[in-house]
Amino acid sequence: MKIACIGGGPAGLYFAISMKLRDHTHAIEVFERNPPGVTWGWGVVFSDQTVENLTANDPVSAKIIADEFAHWDDIDVHIHGQCVRSSGHGFIGIGRKRLLEILQQRARELGVVLHFEAECDPGDPKWQGYDLVIAGDGANSRFRAADEAAFGVDIDERANKFVWLGTSKVFDAFTFAFEETEHGWIWAHAYRFADDCSTFIVECSPKVWRGLGFDRMSQDESIAECERIFAKYLDGHPLMSNATHLVGSAAWLNFRRIKCERWNVGNVILLGDAAHTAHFSIGSGTKLALEDAIKLAQVLNRPGLHLAAAMEEYVAHRNLEVLKLQNSARNSTEWFETLNRYLHFEPVQFAYSLLTRSQRISHENLRLRDKDWLEGVERWFWSRATEGQVGKAAPPMFAPFKLRAMEVANRIAVSPMAMYSATDGTPNDFHLAHYGQRALGGAGLVFTEMTCVSPEGRISPGCTGMWSNGHVDAWKRVVDFVHGTSAAKICLQLGHSGGKGSTRLGWEGNDVPLEDGNWPLMACSDVPWSDSNQRPRAMTRVDMDSVRDQFVAAVRMAIDADFDMIELHAAHGYLLSGFLTPLQNRRTDEYGGSLDNRLRYPLEVFRAMREAWPNERPMSVRISASDWAGEDGVTPDEAVLIGEAFAREGADLIDVSAGQTWTGAQPVYGRMFQTPFSDKLRNEGRLATMAVGNIYEPDHANSILAAGRADLVALGRPHLIDPMWTLRAAAQLGYRDIAAPPQYLNGLAQLARNLQREAEALKA
């Protein structure tokens, strides 16, 4: 094939090398707009996996690159006058300029023709004379920009400002240095890539950037100001820029996350940053470009594979890897963009939060990297959890947590899950077995399913209730069993279905009305939940009084049943959630419109419940922290205000869920996908929170807790299939101090031995 590679960066050069290695008859030319030796950026960081991929693809260039790597293991986090160092991270780096020199030399050896100072106009007809045009011309790709609609380009410009500098100061650890100025916080990402040079990226929010005057400074003035701010880290060494083509504030950039629906149009194929970008804080841009080049060369050289099929395989394979990294990069980017959330953390927790920000590094992964440091984090966590009484190195999920006078034995909760198995609201033997098993299974706190305060407030005929003395007796049987046989506490979740009521059992279809016997519905407004649901009538003030009193009556019954805690369900589109979300609340009176108005009735109900509930016992509120509807619904920023409003009325914990408030929601699923909402409420609102949503491994729970993203972790579906989830986690992690039923101790010990043998066998 006759191929033109646009851009002489790592993507284009390594693709040319990879193609020539597979078939030396390819005629390949690389066109680079800059002169030889001119490049933007300083050092490039690689992972061990990337080096293995390079070695398998081209041992010759890989050996030269590897022989010149700078190696380091430590990360230093400087915050509040302290330095927190952790080890075992295994970084390797090389100067970008030197990397390009190695790749240029290797490309020439293989017969690739290199053209420098070559301006490449996408509209030039000469490109039609090539079988393929590989657009590896970076994040500012002219070839991508020439046909954005065809490529399906999606660009998200991030908020923070950054400038990419270098310095002759050689850092012996990957260094994060956070400095407070009179205008706010600014920080540096610094790492060495050669024996005499380090990368030094400075980052801050736009507000701080303007406050410090960078928007009005020349490049030299900007550098001088950065040298002043970070003087104690530079030890007299200067900062340098090689972006000489930029002047003034233009040297400061906003990172642009780039995605493309299609990576090829006609004979043009996008490669590396031209097709996708990943934030510099996870250091994977060059990795993605090189691995793109390898895979593309593989499929293009496979005999009998036509271009369309080759591109389909290439994009399917690489897009998955890109999405994984972009998701991690998004998490990392958002951590730095919301830095103010974490500045109240003690340095050790701040460093832990920083290290785990992308979710690529977890609690147990840190144990493998630096066991002593991780155990120090655990001792700190336990000391804080026990007010200095206990400082043992043990997983955070097993530390106690106190809400008012109630102390839960550990941080794992059984999430409220509808069982649809009651008769006329009365729990039965199923509920005794269901909740009893999960209490025996080691969870610190067990939540009931949404228990309805009236027959008309049920979702389905199978929902549990709390409106009659028979319900009190049946629930007390469950509560007494939990208290008598386990160390768990039990919380009654109370709610009213609103416009989502009078439907069949959950496994008979979602939101499907009853075949007969439907009861009339009322809600905040006369907005039906879906086209198939009946239209509710809008609540009157008399209705509101009646429902409020039903909640209070249910609270008094919960006292008789001896529940430890009450939760008000104000999420997921049910009655009180319908008041909170503008997608359901269409009222024009004092209960609609502004957030204060939408909060008015839910707060009234909660206030009345709190007054009826004993002061020493805690209460929580479940909210949907996002309607997944952009600015049209409840936003995470509004959710913080909602959580704060309930806390002022005496809520001790915010159970942070999301969505299920309208049928058009488009949630973004993934591991721990709702935990960022808990993080936001906890650390912006300074609220105690419980995280929920696709949390299913002990490692997830420990990472969330140690990073300060939640105070409790609730698991739903994992507990459905494994009521012993918490005891199993204790066995897996070698934790022996968990409260377990004496009848099960031998089984727990056997499980722990079996799991230890399995782990040792995997290491062998």
The yes-or-no verdict on residue 183 having pLDDT over 70 is yes
Distance in angstroms (rounded) separating the CA atoms of residues 296 and 509? 45
Do residue 606 and residue 731 come from a single domain? Answer: yes
Q: What is the pLDDT of residues 386-426, one digit of tens each?
A: 999 999 999 999 999 999 999 999 999 999 999 999 999 99
The yes-or-no verdict on residue 92 having pLDDT over 90 is no
Number of domains in the chain: 2
Do residue 663 and residue 743 come from a single domain? Answer: yes
pLDDT at 195: 87
Do residue 436 and residue 294 come from a single domain? Answer: no
Do residue 193 and residue 99 come from a single domain? Answer: yes
Q: What is the pLDDT of residues 663-690, one digit of tens each?
A: 999 898 888 999 999 999 999 999 999 9
pLDDT at 246: 60
Do residue 650 and residue 748 come from a single domain? Answer: yes
pLDDT category at 245 given cuts 50, 70, 90 is low
Residue 376 lies in a domain: no
Please say which residue of 293, 320, 337 terminates a domain.
337
pLDDT at 342: 98
Do residue 572 and residue 453 come from a single domain? Answer: yes
Q: The domain spanning residue 91 has which CATH number? A: 3.50.50.60
Mean pLDDT across the stretch 156-179? 96
Nearest to 527 by CA among 580, 457, 578, 454: 578
Residues 6+ apart with CB under 8 A from 472: 466, 557, 560, 561
Residue 63 lies in a domain: yes
Residue 120 lies in a domain: yes
SS3 call for 592? coil
Backbone angles phi, psi at 134, to 5 degrees: -95, 110
Mean pLDDT across the stretch 325-339? 93
Residue 172 lies in a domain: yes
Residue 477 lies in a domain: yes
Do residue 285 and residue 412 come from a single domain? Answer: no
**pTM, two decimal places:** 0.94
Q: What is the pLDDT of residues 418-449, one digit of tens each?
A: 999 999 999 999 999 999 999 999 999 999 99
Give the whole-number percent of the chain exceeding pLDDT 70.
99
Do residue 317 and residue 427 come from a single domain? Answer: no
State the DSSP code for 481: H
Mean pLDDT across the stretch 84-108? 93
Residue 390 lies in a domain: no
Mean pLDDT across the stretch 196-205? 95
The pair of structure tokens assigned to 417 is: 């899950």
Please say which residue of 321, 337, 353 terminates a domain.
337
Q: The domain spanning residue 608 has which CATH number? A: 3.20.20.70
Residue 393 lies in a domain: no
Query: Annotated active-site positions, please?
Result: 574
Do residue 80 and residue 173 come from a single domain? Answer: yes
Q: Which domain holds residue 588?
A: 407-758
Residue 100 lies in a domain: yes
pLDDT category at 247 given cuts 50, 70, 90 is low
Residues 6+ apart with CB under 8 A from 740: 442, 727, 730, 748
Do residue 641 and residue 523 come from a single domain? Answer: yes
Q: What is the pLDDT of residues 713-736, one digit of tens each?
A: 999 999 999 999 999 999 999 999
Do residue 439 and residue 318 come from a single domain? Answer: no
The yes-or-no verdict on residue 31 having pLDDT over 90 is yes
Please say which residue of 310, 337, 364 terminates a domain.
337
